[in-house]
Chain A
Amino acid sequence: RKEVEQDPGPFNVPEGATVAFNCTYSNSASQSFFWYRQDCRKEPKLLMSVYSSGNEDGRFTAQLNRASQYISLLIRDSKLSDSATYLCVVKGTYKYIFGTGTRLKVLA
């Protein structure tokens, strides 16, 4: 079983749609959680950290469920510019574990 698992997609959604991604992790001792965005052939960039109480940043909402060991990302009112790959990242004591990413394509 992979340490961090994501549905690779692609998710093809129309502009304005709401889309949700999930990510599961295997290590219950994981300490920190993040969503990164990666555009084609570019470096990953932090989208948002994920906190136990859930957190929101504009159109983006992240949730953490420690009991079930999953993280989610909700994108509301999708824009064309949201098209990218979204990486789930889980950090233990020192190591960051990356999911393989979920590809999103927002269609005009």
Chain B
Amino acid sequence: DADVTQTPRNRITKTGKRIMLECSQTKGHDRMYWYRQDPGLGLQLIYYSFDVKDINKGEISDGYSVSRQAQAKFSLSLESAIPNQTALYFCATSDSRTALGSNEQFFGPGTRLTVL
């Protein structure tokens, strides 16, 4: 079974709709992240959370919100979707307890979102 799962895997929606993307992990990691990836661009950080009561904005948080419902769950919401939010969205986790140099991120399979 995958350690980091995302639902849905694909979603097509219309402008103005509210959308929620969900991420769950069984790795026991404390840190979770949401990224978006657009063709030709690197992964851009939307939000990150270091534990259940900690939420931080990333580089491109406008138009997005998040909720860390439990250590294992981190959801991303688009309150009113717009076409330029069409992208591939990844959730990732990391463990703050691992040594520097070994504290890599683990990614979910991604959600392909299309906003018409």
**Chain A residues near B (Cβ < 8 Å):** 4, 8, 31-34, 41-46, 49-51, 87, 89, 91, 94-101
| Bitwise interface map of B from 87 to 99 toward A, beta carbon under 8 Å scored 1, else 0 | 0101000100000
* CB-contact partner of B103 in A4, A32, A50, A97, under 8 A: A32
B residues at A contact (CB < 8 Å): 33, 40-43, 45, 48, 50, 58, 88, 90, 94, 100-110, 112
In the bound complex, residues from chain A placing their C-beta under 8 Å from that of B94 are 96
- A-B contacts, CB under 8 A, total: 52
Give the distance in Å from the alpha carbon of A98 to the alpha carbon of B40 in the complex.
12
| 26 sampled A-B residue pairs with Cβ under 8 A | A31-B100, A31-B101, A32-B100, A32-B101, A32-B103, A34-B104, A41-B88, A41-B110, A42-B110, A43-B108, A43-B109, A44-B43, A44-B90, A44-B107, A46-B104, A46-B105, A50-B101, A51-B101, A89-B105, A91-B103, A95-B48, A96-B45, A98-B43, A100-B41, A100-B42, A101-B42
Q: Which residues from chain B contact A34 at a C-beta distance below 8 Å? A: 104
